Structure 1
Amino acid sequence: MFPSTPSATAAVSVATRFYTPALFNHCARSYVWGMKYAAAHDITFDDELYFVAAMLHDLALTAPFDSHRIAFEEAGGDLAWVFAVAAGWPVDRAARAEEIIVLHMRDDVAADVDPESHLLQVATAWDVAGRRPEEFASEVRAQVLEQYPRLGFGEEFLACFEDQARRKPDGAAAAAVASNGAARIRANPLDQ
């Protein structure tokens, strides 16, 4: 189901090494949810680019890559840029991976403006907080969760965001926590 390119394989290697199993599965689910959503809405996108961004988008929540100075999505974008350049991508393509990761925590991006950022926004909002449940049929949910179980993801992710919010009060994680993010995460239908 994942793209079979050297960059995609390398992204899985990085994700496997640095994420907990729950965070790895979240990133894999984010890719799959985005794929399902794109198919349902006839959204054309760059599969490899979206996959790499989906797999690396939370890397800056892990201890080895947590920046104490900038928001996790910005640090994660920087990491994706470094990864992509090291993988041999042109600088403009690396910048797209960075941009997708930064934008997934910003205001909604329209699919016709930036399909990869839109897909990551929709997929992560669904996986983290249960937004847009009507987009994902129960049989699709069951298949994805069987392949990539949640493994306590909601509480682990909430702990990461609360930690980010304490240390980086101006970041997107702090805004999410301040706007009742904990209740949304705990009410996610994927955990019911």
Structure 2
Amino acid sequence: MTNFIADIKIPDSKLAVEAAELLRDHGDDLLWNHSNRVFLFAAMKGNSSQVKYDAELLYISSLFHDLGLTPAFRSPDKRFEVDGANAARDFLRSRGIPEESIRLVWNAVALHTTVGIVEYMETEAALMNFGVGYDVVGKNFDFIPAEVRKQVVEAFPRDQFKHNILHAFWEGFKHKPETTYGTMNADVCEMFLPGYQRPNFCHHVLHSKWEE
């Protein structure tokens, strides 16, 4: 893999390479290509906005952000985002990374689907959220020129990504649909699980044990 894609350098430190190898070992081509595209789009946003960010931590966050969907890292009872964040934390701690950096990566991974909040957090978390939104739903699509998008997709192909990523989400949390309550992931459960009815917040309020 070339170190530069669309003028963005792919981090190649020992830490970055080990994180990439972990995703390669436990993920598949879908998550590998998606995670790298997320990093590239996030870095482009950071460079264009002229904000200071740690490229290595942004890359590692991108590599881990969907790792919680994989059999090796999915838990029986936690949101997949938290599983990925915990995996990233364990990986970084095992390599003696400072807690401040670990906390930054944990936040970026755990909150990457928390629209309306994560974009106001640490720069790396906000940038990765941009990259995720850009790659998954085409948010702010015209921000990146077509020729640049083409370079990214040639390096990390989409290969029917729209349909395959939804199946990957479902496989990652079909055993724990309750963890999608209050998130966009409940839409995936509704799509794939016959008869699924998402929990309703208003119902919880009106039927709580409070007597009044």
TM over 0.5: yes
State whether structure 2 residue 9 is matched by structure 1 residue 40: no
CA distance in 1, matches of 2:37, 2:67: 15
2:6 corresponds in structure 1 to none
Max Rg structure: 2
3-state SS in 2 of match to 1:146:
helix
- Of Structure 1 and Structure 2, the greater helix share is in 1
Residue 3 (structure 1) shift: 1.4
Q: CA deviation at 1:81?
A: 0.2
Partners of 1:147 and 1:167 in 2: CA distance: 34
Report the aligned-residue RMSD: 2.0
Corresponding residue to 1:84 among 92, 95, 113: 92
**Counterpart Cα distance in 2 of 1:165 and 1:173:** 14
TM-aligned CA distance change 1:167 to 1:173, over 3 Å: farther
Instruction: Specify whether residues 17 and 115 from structure 1 end up closer, same or farther in structure 2 by C-alpha distance, changes over 3 A only.
Output: same
C-alpha deviations, 1:19-51, integer Å up to 9, x for none? 111110000101101111111111211111111
Q: Which amino acid aligns with 2:186?
A: A
Output aligned runs, 1:1-192, within 5 Å: 1-109=9-117, 113-163=121-171, 164=173, 167-171=176-180, 172-177=183-188
**Residues 48, 9 of structure 1: alpha-carbon distance in 2 compared, 3 angstrom cutoff:** same
Q: Is the 8 A contact 1:76 1:102 kept in 2?
A: yes
| Dislocated runs of 4+, deviation >6 Å | none
Unaligned runs of 5+ in 2: 1-8, 192-212
Q: How far apart, in 2, do the equivalents of 1:165 and 1:129 lie?
A: 21
Contact 1:3 1:51 in 2 (8 A): yes
**SS of structure 2 residue aligned to 1:63:** coil
> Aligned to 2:72, what secondary structure does the other structure show?
helix
Q: How many residues align?
A: 180
How far 1:122 moved relative to its partner? 0.8
Other-structure match for 1:185: none
For residues 60-116 of structure 1, the C-alpha deviation after alignment (integer angstroms, 9 at most, x for no partner) is 111111112000001110000001111220222212211110121113347674111
Distance 1:117 1:68, change over 3 A: same
Output the amino acid matched with 1:168: P
| TM-score, normalised by the number of residues in structure 1 | 0.85
Q: Judging changes above 3 Å, is the alpha-carbon distance between structure 1 residues 114 and 13 closer, same or farther for their aligned structure 2 residues?
A: same
